[in-house]
Chain A
Amino acid sequence: MKGNSIYEISYKHLKEKRNIIFSIIIVLLIIVLYITSTIINFALQYQNNINKKSLNARTLIVERGSKTDEELNQISNINHVVLNVSDKYRAQFPVSAEEFDEKDIKGNIVFNPLLINNGIKIINGRTIESDYEILIPEEFYPHVDFNDYGEEVIYLDKIIKGKDLIGKSIKVYSEREHPVKSINQSWSEYDELYNKWIETRTPISLTIVGTYDSSVNLLEKNTCFMSLKMFDNVKSDINGGTASCTQDNICTEEWFKYVDRMIVVDEYKNLDYVKNELNNMNFSYYPVLNFDMGTFKMLVSIPMCVGLIISIISITLIRNFIAKKLYNKRKEIGLLKTLGFDNNQIINIYSKENNIILSTCFIIGFIIYMIIVKTIKYYIYVAAELEYYSMNIEIPFIYILLLIALLLLLSNYILKKKIIKYLSYNVSDLIGDSL
């Protein structure tokens, strides 16, 4: 101790055993509090995406059944319906993109048609203006690969900056003329047809004109956009097929076309209204994204409750710790009074000690929390959903600072109140054993 400031006394008190134990407990509580806040933050972001940005969340597929085209067209008259098109446009057009082949991984991208109200956010370049132009994600991963366990894997070092590809072209082939093997056709016949198609097919060159933020719309990082007309040109009208054979080995097959309708609502909040109207018009439908807001809110309330309980426990723990600590230090307070320290100086010594302990706990807790969250995000990204990795689920540091400031104010208030109570006693009572 150099003798320059009364706060040197505070620093010396930091290494007390009870302070160390208390700090460990507070760090653990802080980490739990941060993690529950993160879960809530993530859930609220996700909900916000659903509400405002996700196209799928506000898309319904209306089944044709026995309805005519004219009847299906009537759906456009329902308030808040902004798109009423063939459900073909909900499908995706997968493409083997040779331009992105690497020695151990193939180039694979998928195309979606660019519909109005996609909610696409252009990051670099511009949107599509002609049928031979496309948009790619700003964080572009033009592959689909699997590990030995059949799980989809993503190699982070192979993510490309989309803006670096603006101006480049990708070749695609229309699947309309892609031969489909009939059940009554032999494999050699089919191979002949297929090889002939490979030789004679004409590539369509599409130019990258812009990049978009795929995390906004919860899309995968190999999803690109082309114009509606181009999508119609390249995507087959066949949705699927079935085949059946009789006991006499007479086989028949049936091919299905896209006949249903894709309905897009302007905002998620109007979805229930549109559903109601469809019910009134006797349409059958199903949502593209099964998202139950009620269940979601109920699930979010769990981490909220946990967070609230942890907060109450933390505040109670801090309060009790301060009370017990000051009770055990009452003789020390009495001693400082006998040595001539005034009330403010005594309060400042203990406040400083308290502030250092709590601030350090918050910062250590924050560092550990960031390590945990980054690790979890990495494994989520690698294991499954690409888009979640780029979502900012960590709590913004400003909120951490506000939380720290709030708890410091509260703990200092409790501390000051307790010290003032002890300072109101006779000094002889403080240093004696009567308390």
Chain B
Amino acid sequence: MDQNKIGMFISEKRKELNITQEELAELMNVSKNAVSKWERGLNLPDASLMKNLCKILNISLNEFFNGEENNLELSELTKIFEKKNEKIIAVDHVTYKFEPGKLYAIMGHSGSGKSTLLNILGTLDKQTTGEYKINGKETIKLNDNELNYIRRKNVGFIFQNYLLDPNLRSYENVMLPMFVNNEIKKDERKTRALKLLEYVNLENRFNHYPKELSGGEQQRVAIARSLANNPQLIIADEPTGNLDEKNEKIIFEIFRKLANDGKLVIVVSHSDNIVKYADVVLYMKNGRLGVYNEG
């Protein structure tokens, strides 16, 4: 827990709501000095005060402890592709708020805009119009380096064709994202990679190359890799598209486990089996997003 980061987050959210330190202190029934100390990172609020503080600042406990907002917010998001003389509206005025600790399934026919939406959510692509905020930051205003940072710290990707490096062993593939994360010490990287493989039940295959693994195993390595930098958001685009039912079940169970552990997991899938595991099932048709099943 980074007290400084939490302190800065409290200060930022307070200022967004146009509340002074004195006003916040009054609402919390504490001294102004106490609020000042929180914001300077010298102290953390007492456990009994945290819930109330989060309510006032309109943040979740999870976000409080991470020191940043932890959600994805879409507002009238639109993506238009222009090809020759044709305009294709892939995503059409989508407005939605994703929350952490949930597994979202996005379903729909081919060409409905699911993958495009997913690419925008993962900052692999930019919207044409509309707003997309990740942890409170508008992505359209971010430059390439800032987007790189977001991908590094906040997003884990899982692709249909796994995209493992064939020249690296399983644990080395999992270590890959850690090379650009200075917060993970160099001598801890291998250990961490092995732990992540254990999380996806592949501890016995840590030394194998991708060509020596089955499709399901490769996808599990890809999942472990996506967790390397402990991101809050996991995005999976047709992760079981190339797998059989048995392996599909294993993968979906892992996603369920991740959501239970507080991650925000978004899965695009053609498979109906995802419905059993998802908290929220969304449906895309002609670029529009609808809620099929929530809660």
Contacts and interface: CB of A to CB of B under 8 A. Distances in A.
A12 B210 CA distance: 14
A1 B175 contact: yes
Interface stretch (A3-11, A90-98, A150-158, A316-324): A3-11
B189 interface: yes
A2 B186 contact: yes
Interface stretch (A206-214, A223-231, A286-294, A332-340): A332-340
Interface in A1-32: 1-6, 9, 12-13, 15-16
B190 A2 contact: yes
Contact of A15 (B145, B149, B167): B167
A77 B125 CA distance: 90
**Consensus secondary structure, chain B interface:** helix
Interface residues of A, number: 26
A332 B165 CA distance: 7
B167 A340 contact: no
A431 B172 contact: no
Contact of A428 (B125, B145, B148, B167): B125
Interface of B: 115-116, 119, 122, 124-125, 144-145, 148-149, 151-153, 155, 157, 159, 163, 165, 167-169, 172, 175-181, 186, 189-190, 193, 225, 229
B230 to A, nearest CB: 13
Given A342-B145, A428-B125, A431-B159, A6 B168 contact: no
B179 A6 contact: yes
Given A340-B151, A342-B145, A343-B144, A3 B189 contact: yes
A341 interface: yes
Interface of A: 1-6, 9, 12-13, 15-16, 331-332, 335, 337-343, 345, 426-428, 431
Given A2-B190, A428-B119, A339 B176 contact: yes
Nearest to B225: A339
Contact of A9 (B125, B179, B225, B229): B179
Contacts of B190: 1-3
A340 B148 contact: yes
Nearest to A342: B148
Given A2-B186, A339-B177, 17 more contacts: A1-B168, A3-B186, A3-B190, A3-B193, A9-B165, A16-B167, A338-B122, A339-B176, A340-B180, A341-B179, A342-B144, A342-B145, A342-B148, A427-B124, A427-B125, A428-B115, A428-B125
B142 to A, nearest CB: 13
Contacts of A343: 144
With most chain B CB atoms within 10 A of its CB, the pick from A4, A16, A332, A339 is A339
